[in-house]
Structure 1
């Protein structure tokens, strides 16, 4: 008959109380948000009476997790960026030249002298002075090929080597280009995420879109231009041997060389070897600091591989200039005075303190592997976000009120129990969103509105089943018991299939679709819990107190 163990009753009410407690900070959203920001600032080393007052404005023993508001509710910036993957092909081809040069020099007695020829961006053309030995030279270069590191490129090499008369032509293979595209976009995605996380923005959306595009949405940021300043700088740091220096930007640097302007010296241009000795990818840390003259600078440190290459080069080239190049500009070109074995150094220039801080952030996050072209940019003001919140609130209130009235008119006292469970259901949804740090979007509000409508389905199934059982002249206790027992399978079937749909939407969707899927999935879990356990517990407790001979549903 109608019996629920004491421990089950305590557990059900405890879950409800915990959910409402977790949801409570959202009723004081602005106050709790200010407190959380103050606590985060104090943990980062900031101090001040105002921060301490803000941190103490919310009791520390109460939960402080909030439902994060998405871009369409808080306002912020939206960017759609295209990764210039073709840039990576050129850099990759250029990096092959020192290796090919050193290999062919070992066979100079046979193949003669070698010379790098002017080439398209995605090719490397090497001319030898003994055309009769071109096939032997090509075979040597093919020995540098490595397997493509991707499933789609299995059993294929990363370079294609062909011959044209006395010239060897080296290109990336199609399989390697596809693998490079995949690596480049994934690396750009991760670096953009690290850069945005460095500045402490709240719940950004950074997702791949298509083969070479990245969608970036950051709530709470001032404008799209501000967001571009954070992520738009490539911050490619490289270290090159200096070939020469001049004042003519149009002069030919020669094959295998590049010409870069000086950042500090106006009208000065450096000719450097195209292939860098060390790159920013081998940095493990960068921090703002000051040089020996007290001027702002950036100190850096290499990983073991970079430190070894940096140390070997400085040991072999004492007295030679060495260019530090940042985004195709020579920051400085110091002369190597001694062997630098520690793998660390300092970048000096005409920097402000703010510039060194930003540069250190960019270098720590890593260099973007390729440039970005911004195809779409949008700034959503907080006023529009507030309009969305107000519209969503009205939709929820209307839906909520309509369901409450319908349930009470249709099922009387039992409908009142369902309405109480429905209120708890919405509280539990916000409690779960706060606990997992979920982001609420406008489609997410639509998911909550849909959940409000769906949440009473299980109760309707149970109550209609109880009505059917009462018609067979069973007692009220037995009718209630059988109503829940026989409606359970239909409730589970309906909600499990809908939950599977929500999981699929979350797995394959992006942005707003995921926001809808999260609230729909959580709403299904909470509505099943409230319908099967909470409503039943309330009915049992009412029945135990009243002991009615007959009931009307």
Structure 2
């Protein structure tokens, strides 16, 4: 090996750089451990809200020493910014995919038109998007173009005042489409920037936000975020700030009393039920019906009867002459909205107030009572002043010492604000400050017009809420609503458990591999162990240096790399042993062994790497973490095996010492293997055919246990304080949700609960509704002192309640399933082309793809057969797809090594018949195949047993894949390759074989 000195220097420097990168992680861990100890000593465990108070004290400690020098000028803040990033499953936090509503953007560009063609196209696009992979804007244009004579350049659509500089009446639909696509993309980019600014101010370390293609989807990862509801509010708040004049309750007279009387008669008369519709469906004679109802209900209001639909919901009146009409319970607001939207009720308003807009305030004090306001609307329902005039916002305090948010407007806003406040002052009235259709405050103006453009929002909110509000106003409003279509929330305690289980599996697997290599290869195995230790250091160092995220599947990828990295050393050592057996000197045997093994090593790792790249491109979150560590592991294992191991072996040999590549127990293992593998192929075909038929039959009849990744829905990991019978829980949940599934997940006191209840609705309100229903349904299984808030927060330090949750909308579930299919198909195509290019014969490609397809179908079949009986989760989800792609890579690894030896023997022994070449190739690689398979299998078993429940199904798929992959490389890939060779070639091969037998007999 040339340039040994340069390689030594590079290896040492590389190792030192990796240690330096990892030092920040050690510094951060030590400081945070000290912070935990400080908080634990300061806060008594008996105090209420112990977990929240302890976290606050821990953060105070970290803030106080954040900029203090720890070592060599490094502060905690410096180290925190450079530490090894941990994913959600190791640190806790939230991972969401937001869908920016392209529908809202289109409607805004069309000035919320009532054009029938436009709205019909939107409705059709809504329906088509549920099952289509196309972007929403493509579906909209397809639907619009199918409507006869519909023009995008119509003044009622996009040829309006807003777009007058870009769209004119003469343009064709195709020309307008290009402009609108650009405008939509600009709006999504704007939304991305708004979210990024909000997240930057949130205070979470190492956040990740990225656009996902051109679909309007934005991925947000916030590791370590604990206040999940606050995060959701921050992400989904459109920050639509508006300023409205508001009616005093005295201006509306006895409107609520009249409304109650009308509603009382409507609710109590079955004959009138059909008339309880909104304005859009009111009949032509609605007014005559209203007059009749008013006549019947005149002076009949009697609150004492308990039969007043509206008054029975009132929790208190607004003060006389104030802006609040009345206070209602928050849970009744939807019902009140329905009442106020009825045509019979709306018609009670005089013509001067017919555009009144009813909105709600924020909860009053500590109760859930919210005030009802009536804003002075207009024909277009546009506010006199909107939030786009805000140039700055800060969390402050008002004159009463309450938390407030002060805002500064630009010149245009200041002028309008002065006019509005002047008008309100003259009329002794109020101005409502409305954010996202909620009144935060409605101050009266009595001191004259307010100049300068400064205003203030007050309300019953805390410091963090005030800071968040100022943050979103300063960052700007989202150009459209943002719905969470996929989310994963992991509690911090579950993350720590994942770290603990990951470390255990890592340590056990590493110890086994180190011992095995020494047992099998003696001193050479010890050198391989040193190279393996350096390999692990390099993997973690590179991860830290690149700012990559370490996840639980990522740890699995590293542990799997440990098992697979010995493969390169095994290939090298086996080839050296072959050269020594030929009688070569040790120095020459080592040189030729490394040289001969290089081709197989590169081919095997490149094919595995190709599947890793596909996984990296199409995967998200933890799966991307798995692919990242796998790819880094492949690169570092190649470097350490080819160069570092070689340095040790060459250095040992130059000292004149003899190096055995075996021990007394393993010296003669697999040395005289002579098996007619091809003769056994027919029996193998029969066995495989039976397994394939059973697998395909089970897939057709029983199907697979598809996770929410693929079908949509919500899943919750819930922990109890006692062992739970999942059947009993499932029966209770079915009564509430209609359809639900509960399975033991890990220990017997932990369940994984899945439901498709309201799967098509993705709003935060529906999320909260489902979690409330879940809490109520599980009441009999939970401690009586576990509140709803603590249940959602994972027991608030008690490790009870929802430990992890996940939501996937049906549209994105369909996309995930589609991406998974193309990932598997794409990997097969890439593999076929690579092997065709590398081996120059299509028969090799056919053999490899046949073996891989065989392995994938059998793994799927086993999951289909066993998912109902196995005591662990066997869902088909994104992690399973990662496992399948890894199985593909591993199966190819084995197959390519055999093919490489077949190609070598074909070139070396041109007179050999093909059958003999194949058999000898398999004989010569059997030691490597079994050795690598055994070490990898033991490593996977260690992860399966000790690695945590969340990846147990993932590991089971890999274990089955390794077993089946080893079998297929011996009995499927090579035999199929052999059988695909033309009959003439086989006849000639057979003749050669017969002639050789005659020569031997003679």
Give me the whole-angstrom Cα distance separating, in 1, the residues matched to 2:522 and 2:387: 71
> Contact between 1:277 and 1:310, CA under 8 Å: does it hold in 2?
no
Q: Report the TM-score, using the length of structure 1 for normalisation.
A: 0.70
1:496-507 matches, cutoff 5 A: 496-507=606-617
> Contact between 2:565 and 2:634, CA under 8 Å: does it hold in 1?
yes
Which one of 483, 504, 511 corresponds to residue 621 of structure 2?
A: 511
Please report how far the alpha carbon of residue 154 of structure 1 lies from its aligned counterpart in structure 2 after TM superposition.
Answer: 8.4
Give me the whole-angstrom Cα distance separating, in 2, the residues matched to 1:121 and 1:299: 40
Give me the whole-angstrom Cα distance separating, in 2, the residues matched to 1:548 and 1:489: 28
Distance 1:53 1:359, change over 3 A: closer
Please report how far the alpha carbon of residue 78 of structure 1 lies from its aligned counterpart in structure 2 after TM superposition.
Answer: 5.3
Which one of 380, 386, 393 corresponds to residue 286 of structure 1?
A: 393
Find out whether 1:346 has 2:455 as its counterpart.
yes
Correspondence for 1:383: 493
Correspondence for 2:18: 19
Correspondence for 2:203: 200
> Contact between 2:97 and 2:220, CA under 8 Å: does it hold in 1?
yes
Give me the whole-angstrom Cα distance separating, in 2, the residues matched to 1:185 and 1:386: 36
Which one of 221, 224, 230 corresponds to residue 225 of structure 2?
A: 221
Correspondence for 1:536: 646
Which one of 436, 442, 453 corresponds to residue 327 of structure 1?
A: 436
Give me the whole-angstrom Cα distance separating, in 1, the residues matched to 2:411 and 2:467: 27
> Contact between 1:223 and 1:379, CA under 8 Å: does it hold in 2?
no
Please report how far the alpha carbon of residue 519 of structure 1 lies from its aligned counterpart in structure 2 after TM superposition.
Answer: 0.8
Give me the whole-angstrom Cα distance separating, in 2, the residues matched to 1:14 and 1:31: 26
Give me the whole-angstrom Cα distance separating, in 2, the residues matched to 1:297 and 1:9: 63
Post-superposition Cα deviations, 1:224-256, rounded to whole Å, max 9, x if no partner, equal: 43433433433211356x597754675478899
Which one of 47, 51, 71 corresponds to residue 59 of structure 1?
A: 71
Correspondence for 1:452: 562
Please report how far the alpha carbon of residue 511 of structure 1 lies from its aligned counterpart in structure 2 after TM superposition.
Answer: 1.3
Find out whether 1:462 has 2:586 as its counterpart.
no
Please report how far the alpha carbon of residue 463 of structure 1 lies from its aligned counterpart in structure 2 after TM superposition.
Answer: 2.2
Distance 1:140 1:516, change over 3 A: closer
1:334-373 matches, cutoff 5 A: 337=449, 345-350=454-459, 354=463, 355-373=465-483
Distance 1:438 1:259, change over 3 A: same
Correspondence for 1:310: 413
Q: Which has the higher strand share?
A: 1
Correspondence for 2:656: 547
Post-superposition Cα deviations, 1:494-545, rounded to whole Å, max 9, x if no partner, equal: 333433332332222111210111111211222122122222222233334x
1:1-400 matches, cutoff 5 A: 4-26=3-25, 30-33=29-32, 51-52=63-64, 58-60=70-72, 64=79, 65-77=82-94, 85-94=102-111, 142=159, 144=161, 155-157=174-176, 176=180, 187-188=190-191, 190-204=193-207, 217-222=221-226, 224-239=228-243, 242=245, 246-247=251-252, 250=346, 251=349, 268-273=373-378, 274-275=381-382, 279-281=386-388, 283-289=390-396, 296-301=403-408, 307=410, 309-310=412-413, 319-320=422-423, 324-329=433-438, 331-332=441-442, 337=449, 345-350=454-459, 354=463, 355-373=465-483, 379-400=489-510
Query: Max radius of gyration: which structure?
Result: 2
Give me the whole-angstrom Cα distance separating, in 2, the residues matched to 1:209 and 1:551: 54
> Contact between 1:475 and 1:550, CA under 8 Å: does it hold in 2?
no
- For the residue of structure 1 that corresponds to 2:239, the secondary structure is coil
Give me the whole-angstrom Cα distance separating, in 2, the residues matched to 1:483 and 1:197: 54
Distance 1:255 1:239, change over 3 A: same
Distance 1:59 1:507, change over 3 A: same
Equivalenced residues, count: 483
> Contact between 1:261 and 1:267, CA under 8 Å: does it hold in 2?
yes
Q: Which has the higher helix share?
A: 2
Find out whether 1:478 has 2:581 as its counterpart.
no
> Contact between 2:389 and 2:412, CA under 8 Å: does it hold in 1?
no
- Which segment is superposed worse, 182-191 or 389-398? 182-191
Post-superposition Cα deviations, 1:94-123, rounded to whole Å, max 9, x if no partner, equal: 478xxxxxxxxxxxxxxxxxxxx9999959
Please report how far the alpha carbon of residue 53 of structure 1 lies from its aligned counterpart in structure 2 after TM superposition.
Answer: 5.1
Give me the whole-angstrom Cα distance separating, in 1, the residues matched to 2:203 and 2:71: 24
Find out whether 1:415 has 2:521 as its counterpart.
no
- Which segment is superposed worse, 455-464 or 84-93? 84-93
Larger RCO (CA within 8 A; separation ≥ 6):
1
Give me the whole-angstrom Cα distance separating, in 2, the residues matched to 1:75 and 1:5: 45
Post-superposition Cα deviations, 1:125-157, rounded to whole Å, max 9, x if no partner, equal: xxxxxxxxxxxx969994755668xxxx98432
Give me the whole-angstrom Cα distance separating, in 1, the residues matched to 2:157 and 2:108: 22
Distance 1:455 1:154, change over 3 A: farther
Please report how far the alpha carbon of residue 12 of structure 1 lies from its aligned counterpart in structure 2 after TM superposition.
Answer: 1.8
Please report how far the alpha carbon of residue 14 of structure 1 lies from its aligned counterpart in structure 2 after TM superposition.
Answer: 1.8
> Contact between 1:34 and 1:54, CA under 8 Å: does it hold in 2?
no
Correspondence for 1:406: 516
Correspondence for 1:130: none
- For the residue of structure 2 that corresponds to 1:156, the secondary structure is helix
> Contact between 1:278 and 1:309, CA under 8 Å: does it hold in 2?
no
Distance 1:515 1:278, change over 3 A: farther
> Contact between 1:118 and 1:255, CA under 8 Å: does it hold in 2?
no
Give me the whole-angstrom Cα distance separating, in 2, the residues matched to 1:420 and 1:253: 86
Unaligned runs of 5+ in 1: 38-46, 97-116, 124-136, 159-172
Correspondence for 1:133: none
> Contact between 2:360 and 2:372, CA under 8 Å: does it hold in 1?
yes
Please report how far the alpha carbon of residue 419 of structure 1 lies from its aligned counterpart in structure 2 after TM superposition.
Answer: 0.6
- For the residue of structure 2 that corresponds to 1:346, the secondary structure is strand
- For the residue of structure 2 that corresponds to 1:286, the secondary structure is strand
Please report how far the alpha carbon of residue 376 of structure 1 lies from its aligned counterpart in structure 2 after TM superposition.
Answer: 6.8
Correspondence for 1:426: 536
Post-superposition Cα deviations, 1:58-105, rounded to whole Å, max 9, x if no partner, equal: 424579332222222223345566655544455444478xxxxxxxxx
Give me the whole-angstrom Cα distance separating, in 2, the residues matched to 1:426 and 1:29: 21
Give me the whole-angstrom Cα distance separating, in 2, the residues matched to 1:70 and 1:368: 27
Give me the whole-angstrom Cα distance separating, in 2, the residues matched to 1:486 and 1:255: 88
Correspondence for 1:40: none
Distance 1:67 1:484, change over 3 A: same
Unaligned runs of 5+ in 2: 37-58, 121-153, 256-339, 341-345, 365-369, 425-430, 663-1002
Give me the whole-angstrom Cα distance separating, in 2, the residues matched to 1:448 and 1:488: 23
Distance 1:323 1:226, change over 3 A: closer
> Contact between 2:385 and 2:417, CA under 8 Å: does it hold in 1?
no
Post-superposition Cα deviations, 1:331-351, rounded to whole Å, max 9, x if no partner, equal: 4576994875xxx53324346
> Contact between 2:419 and 2:449, CA under 8 Å: does it hold in 1?
no
Give me the whole-angstrom Cα distance separating, in 2, the residues matched to 1:292 and 1:514: 52
Correspondence for 1:105: none
> Contact between 2:115 and 2:157, CA under 8 Å: does it hold in 1?
no
Post-superposition Cα deviations, 1:249-269, rounded to whole Å, max 9, x if no partner, equal: 754788998565677996653
Give me the whole-angstrom Cα distance separating, in 2, the residues matched to 1:222 and 1:436: 26
